[in-house]
Chains A and B, each alone.
Chain A
Amino acid sequence: MFETLKNILVDKLKVSPDQITMEASKEDVELDSLAVVELSLVLEKELGLKISDDELIEVETVGEIVALMTERSVTV
């Protein structure tokens, strides 16, 4: 799931790949309030995962986003 998120961040949001680790903060990967809305949209369009931008604003690290993605893909 980490690789899936990483690919989305790199391909769709143009984040530099070397910045993306499980421990990286949202600031480290340049996910501001606009970018989390964009990420929420891409996750829904590309993977059918419904994770709201409000939820993404709450999380602090890439690892937490991966955890949310894993949780939602199980329930789906």
Chain B
Amino acid sequence: MAGPGDVAVTGLGLVTPGGIGVEAGWAAVLAGRSAAAHDPVLAKNPVSISCRVPGFDPEALLGGRRAHRLDRFVQLALVAAKEAVTDAGLDTAAWDGARVGVVIGSAGGGAETFEAQHRVLLEENPAWVSPLLLPMHLSNMAAGQVAMEFGARGPNMVVATACASGATAIGIARDLLARDRCDIVLAGGTEALLNPVTMAGFARMGALSKRDDPAAASRPFDIDRDGFVGAEGAAVLVLERLSDARAAGRRVRGRVLGYGATADAHHVTSPDPDGRGVRAAIDAALAEAGATTGDVVHVNAHGTSTPLNDLVEAQVLARVLPHRPLVTSTKGVTGHMMGAAGAAEAVFALLTMTHGVVPPTANTTMLDPRIDIDVALAATPVSQGLVLSNSFGFGGQNAVLALAAA
């Protein structure tokens, strides 16, 4: 199997509701420990549970002055990027910054800052709105601030495909490397949309779980699932051409072999009931990887725990992968990190191959009888092969990554 450009993942960075750092995040998903809790910020909301990153102290992690001028979605991205760059052993003082790109996915940018400043406008004085509002709120600041941190002067952008954004970013980064626009790309996703107005909007859509027990709310593919649990987080991967990574003697943590991107062109929030867009994205990712469906040993599903997503996704997987590779959704633990989810789950999918064990779909006890796929209900050993990481966004965007261990 070889994808276009044969792209290596040489560094990983993760800030999730499972904890700060790759090790903490992986331990949490492997243990199947749900991160959901009642959220005091959302106390008056129709749904008041969320998954926050435990112990995230931006002043301690980034310095007080720096943290003060950044929205949380950028703070999360910077911490993840620092871990990824360190993990890759990159010397950012010595690299050719013009050949280093940054592609970050985010569905909503700095909504928390926007909401807070809108309150100043309405309740205090329009002239008192912070001059930092736009430098903190604009979505592209996630990539811009990562570039400033490391002197990455190549192509730089934030991409938005809602809850597929993190996977889209990795796909675009792969393309930049394959077309020789960059030698290194820091790619990932970040999201901090747990502000009251955004979460009230999700609740009013009927997208969120209404369960009283936070720890049981996110239960992908379960018969009693009733919506997702909102989460924050960030993930960044260092991507390089495999030949470059090997020549530089870097440790290869995994490979991006294929990427499929499609749109349902169907409905703003409901998936196409026939799953044609998802199927086409899987086919495209496999074709790029030079693989067949039989090569797939595991799927890290989008698996949001919403009634419709999980049903349609499972039906597509049952049709496309009749050999029943083991499927998991790490959202049972992390909740739904939205624009960060695709990148964080790509990291989890790679770690699944590295460690040879599929993490459980937490909280899921009885599968929906209409769902005819093998869902990992406990941590389960898996053989080496191709892993698919699925991500789908409101708006109908589908992004599928085909990944493998080094």
Contact = CB atoms under 8 A, between A and B. Distances in A.
Contact of B132 (A16, A38, A45): A38
Contacts of B131: 34, 37-38, 41, 53
A30 interface: yes
Given A14-B59, A34-B135, A41 B65 contact: no
A30 B130 contact: no
B89 interface: no
A38 B129 CA distance: 9
Query: How many A residues touch the partner, as a band?
Result: 10 to 19
B64 A16 contact: yes
Nearest to B65: A14
Contacts of A13: 65, 68
Contacts of B67: 14
A64 B45 CA distance: 47
Nearest to A12: B68
Interface in B36-89: 59, 64-65, 67-69
**Taking each of A13, A16, A34, A53, which has the highest tally of chain B beta carbons within 10 Å of its own beta carbon?**
A34
B145 to A, nearest CB: 14
A16 B66 CA distance: 11
A16 B65 contact: yes
Contact of B65 (A30, A37, A53): A30
A38 to B, nearest CB: 6
21 contacts: A13-B65, A13-B68, A14-B59, A14-B64, A14-B67, A14-B68, A15-B65, A16-B64, A16-B65, A30-B65, A34-B69, A34-B131, A34-B135, A37-B131, A38-B130, A38-B131, A38-B132, A41-B130, A41-B131, A45-B128, A53-B131
Interface of A: 13-16, 30, 34, 37-38, 41, 45, 53
Given A14-B68, A16-B64, A34-B135, 9 more contacts: A13-B65, A14-B59, A14-B64, A14-B67, A16-B65, A34-B69, A37-B131, A45-B128, A53-B131
